[in-house]
Structure 1
């Protein structure tokens, strides 16, 4: 499992009490509820959870891809600057140059009518670089992203690339603005297992070589175990647990995290069986009272049905939102 490579307290982004509401049929739905975590320099932080847990909405909030007025509370502190009160111009300038995003579907992220070279070089052309300088830099970026014979691929269109090659092109686009933080939203979901492993190795190599920070959104615990230094476990729009990846996955402090770990098939023996999570995942639109996980939790008591647990420290560098976290840790 990945261990933190950064002993620095230098934080790129501090997310504090983030609240996001989106329009619903009858009333607004709170899709992100009081979410807090930090992204240190040169560190990969993972957002993990089932579908509907609020992972992608949280990532979109960080880069400003939500509708106006959707963020109704909290703070996004970027290197000492409050992004929620920054001007629209400043937020646009941040995207691509300081914070860049790698989207889940590379085919949807690429314009089918433009060449790969033109799309990767777009942000460079806007910075006023000469045509020759842009071409040289684009070839360098494609090469860094692992695309063979990059100079020959400049005139290729997205449909001429395989899924893995398209994802590499999207990664090259994200790197073009020389960002400090990459947001990767399920970057390997649409790829086969072999290509997934290659893309993950590439992302880890880029993060380490360039000293970037990365927020990796995924539902796959095995991905997190090999890539993320820290992990934030989300359920129904809230943080269930967060801490160092090795600590959280080896010794969960929340029943939901424990259930996630138990649901992943073991890879050491061919006969190992997984234990699927019982029940139906809660979502922000059907979040139960009290602890949202209580209908699926074997430890649930009356208090869990009525009282929402606060996110609290249970060990150095470990936070969990469970009334019985100590019991879970002991188990």
Structure 2
């Protein structure tokens, strides 16, 4: 299962997402991409958003930082340090981005400006806040060194295409952390990297998070990553929360058939064997949810009510929440 971080005490809630829903226009009317999503992120901890492609993980993260399509309709609340980000204006959101809330994207080549030197991009958030150019440049070099980039002064003068994939991702992390944000949103930050580089980048993220006491919302489809990094897990399916709770408890004893199937599909999480049990069927997107529980066409324990009734997210054990009519059966 791996060593999951343990909390010595319960820190304050830094981010509270409550009843978040996102609608996008469709051919036959609005399509609910995110449906009634709720979770908390506490200071200094990591919450993992896990699920297959199309589950709504990235859209949820983008909702927090206000990077949704212009035609998106958002309801519910996203409260960050007393500020409701849903009702905050664009000027307020821009003032928070990079300073209080930063984002690490999964593809640095698509996120870094190919026409600007790396050091300039890392220090940009400082210059926007009034830091003199020379000081911003110096602090950018220091941050590049801190994230483990060799010869940081020389690499600061390089363009993104002159760096390897691992170094580009480290530069993205430097850019995200240079202003000492309270919350880091990391969208599949190691997906494009090989396994060895992945491990180094994850260790770097954990170290920086500890040093800065920053909270992190980590978006990933990889349970092996989550088992080593996350304190809490939010399992998403078809734009809804299927299960949430402490990462160690969720991975050891799932309370939803989807989570159980995910765990069984990753041998490194469950056992030392190289044999995995692939998830049955095809994942359902929010735009094509079936009636009732969205997982019921793939669920081995579905009963009649699963096909017609949407299961509410309910507490099925202390601090364990599951959107499954048969959660008690899954837990036994």
TM-score, length-normalised on structure 1? 0.96
Partner of 2:173: 171
Alignment partner of 1:198 out of 185, 200, 216: 200
Cα gap change, 1:271/1:223 in structure 2, threshold over 3 Å: closer, same or farther? closer
1:136-175 equivalence runs, <5 A: 136-175=138-177
Give the aligned CA root-mean-square deviation in angstroms: 1.4
| CA positional deviation for 1:266 | 3.5
Match of 1:115 among 117, 141, 144: 117
Which moves more between the two structures, 148-157 or 33-42?
148-157
Q: How many residues align?
A: 330
Between 286-295 and 121-130, report the one with greater CA deviation. Answer: 121-130
Which 5+ residue runs of structure 1 have no aligned equivalent?
none
Distance 1:279 1:69 in 2: 32
Given candidates 1, 4, 7, the residue that maps to 1:2 is: 4
Q: Quick check: 1:3–1:245 contact (8 Å CA) kept in 2? A: no
Distance, in Å, in 2 between the alignment partners of 1:184 and 1:129 is 26
Q: Secondary structure at the match of 2:200?
A: helix
The structural deviation recorded for 1:272 is 3.6
What residue is the counterpart of 2:101 in the other structure? Answer: 99
Contact 1:46/1:224 (8 A) holds in 2: yes
Following the alignment from structure 2 to structure 1, what is the Cα–Cα distance between the partners of residues 129 and 239? 38
Q: Which residues in structure 2 correspond to 1:255-274 (within 5 Å)?
A: 255-266=257-268, 271-274=273-276
User: Residue 39 of structure 1 is aligned with which of 41, 56, 71?
Assistant: 41
Which position in structure 2 is the counterpart of 1:329?
331
CA drift of 1:123 comes to 1.1
SS at match of 1:18: strand
Task: Give the alignment partner of residue 309 of structure 1, picking from 311, 318, 323.
Answer: 311
CA distance in 2, matches of 1:300, 1:268: 23
Structure 1 range deviating more: 97-106 or 22-31: 22-31
The answer for unaligned runs of 5 or more in structure 2 is none
Maintained 8 Å contact 1:18/1:71: no
Deviation for aligned residue 1:25: 2.8
